[in-house]
Amino acid sequence: MKKFIFNIKKYNKYAIRSAKAELKSEVADSYLNWLWWIIEPFCFMLIYVFVFGVVFKNNTPFFASFVFIGLACWDFFNRMVSGSVKLIINNRDLVTKVYIPKYILLISKSYTYLFKMGIALVITFGLMIFQGVTFSWHIVLLIPILIVLYIVSLGIGLLLMNYGVTINDLGNLTNIVLRMVFYLSGVFYNINERNLSPTLKYYFLRVNPIAFIMNEMRRILIFNQLPNFKWLGIWLVIGLLLVVIGIHTIHKNENSYAKVI
């Protein structure tokens, strides 16, 4: 753990710079340039709102804001998890030529994803104002919820990154699991309003961290309720545990990655 903190201090600046470089290069050649960072999430959200709000007729209040919050949260988690599996292999040049603590690669990626989530949230806030959602002080609670989201995603990402090096088809497996989690998380429907038995609902909203986090975000932002602090705490502890295990396995294996890829 000491090594981890030392490495973070040493390489964090690189991680930030590399994240900035990545963002810049993503839009470097396009006509609309950085506008894509706004247009893209906005359009995706509109599609979901249209399909599930108009075509499937959904009566959830403030449905557009509801979907936007869910999607911002989901996109971050999805990018972290699916991006981490092939991360080492995609950075072959780097990994075989210099020593760098491998989790720095993921942390650097996470900064770009955080940036994108930030934009998505700003768009969401704009929409909430437009729809006339009343804001309350509960909005402050978004910060601890986002921290839990980050830590859980990072923990899962670190572990997948480690095993993705040696297990070729882990990517296929995570894709399937991610798809399942996506539909079960209620990005575009409200789990609370479905005709499910109360026990099933209870577990749907707690065992799946993303469904839980999404639901909490909506509660504080749209419905002005307090989050479920007990389960936030539980997921924070699980997330931290995953991060510690992930860092430990990476420290143990990282010097062998270069031999495998």
Partner 1 sequence: MKNKEKNTAISVKNLHITYRGLKKTSIRASWTKLKNKVEVFEALKGVSFDVEEGKILGIIGKNGSGKSTLLRAIAGIFSPDKGSIDLHNHTISLLSIGVGFNKKLTGRENIYLSGMLLGFSEEEIKAKEKEIIKFADIGDFINKPVKTYSSGMYSKLAFAITAILETDIMLIDEVLSVGDTRFKEKSYNKMKELISDDKRTVIIVSHSLGTIVELCNEVLWLNDGKVIEIGDPKEVVEHYNKYMNENG
Please tell me whether residue 8 binds partner 1 under the rule CB under 8 A.
Answer: no
Note whether 161 and 249 are within 8 A (CB). Answer: no
Please tell me whether residue 253 binds partner 1 under the rule CB under 8 A.
Answer: yes
DSSP 8-class letter at 63: H
C-alpha distances in Å from residue 47, one per residue of 40, 43, 50, 61, 175: 11, 6, 5, 18, 22
Footprint (CB under 8 A) of partner 1, residues 103-132: none
Please tell me whether residue 256 binds partner 1 under the rule CB under 8 A.
Answer: yes
Footprint (CB under 8 A) of partner 1, residues 176-205: none
Considering only 168, 195, 197, 199, the residue that binds partner 1 (CB under 8 A) is 168
CB atoms within 10 A of CB 197: 8
Q: Tell which residue, 163, 7, 145, has the closest CA to residue 77.
A: 145
Sequence letter at residue 236 = L
CA dist., res. 198 & res. 206, Å (int): 12
**Which residues have C-beta within 8 Å of that of residue 141, sequence separation ≥ 6?**
220, 226, 227
* Binding span for partner 1 by CB under 8 A among 54-62, 78-86, 91-99, 120-128: 91-99
Please tell me whether residue 9 binds partner 1 under the rule CB under 8 A.
Answer: no
In whole angstroms, how close is the CB of 228 to partner 1 at the nearest point? 36
Considering only 99, 134, 195, 198, the residue that binds partner 1 (CB under 8 A) is 99
C-alpha distances in Å from residue 231, one per residue of 151, 198, 206, 239: 14, 17, 7, 12
In whole angstroms, how close is the CB of 99 to partner 1 at the nearest point? 4
Please tell me whether residue 166 binds partner 1 under the rule CB under 8 A.
Answer: yes
Please tell me whether residue 260 binds partner 1 under the rule CB under 8 A.
Answer: yes
Please tell me whether residue 32 binds partner 1 under the rule CB under 8 A.
Answer: no
Chain CA centroid to CA 33, Å: 24
Please tell me whether residue 3 binds partner 1 under the rule CB under 8 A.
Answer: no
CB atoms within 10 A of CB 202: 11
Neighbouring C-alpha atoms within 13 Å toward the C-beta of 81: 22
Please tell me whether residue 31 binds partner 1 under the rule CB under 8 A.
Answer: no
Q: Whose Cβ is closer to partner 1: residue 206's or residue 251's?
A: 251
Q: Whose Cβ is closer to partner 1: residue 19's or residue 120's?
A: 19
In whole angstroms, how close is the CB of 166 to partner 1 at the nearest point? 5
Please tell me whether residue 175 binds partner 1 under the rule CB under 8 A.
Answer: no
CA dist., res. 22 & res. 163, Å (int): 24
* Sites of contact with partner 1 (CB under 8 A): 10, 13-14, 17-18, 21-22, 24-25, 28-29, 93-100, 165-170, 173, 253, 255-261
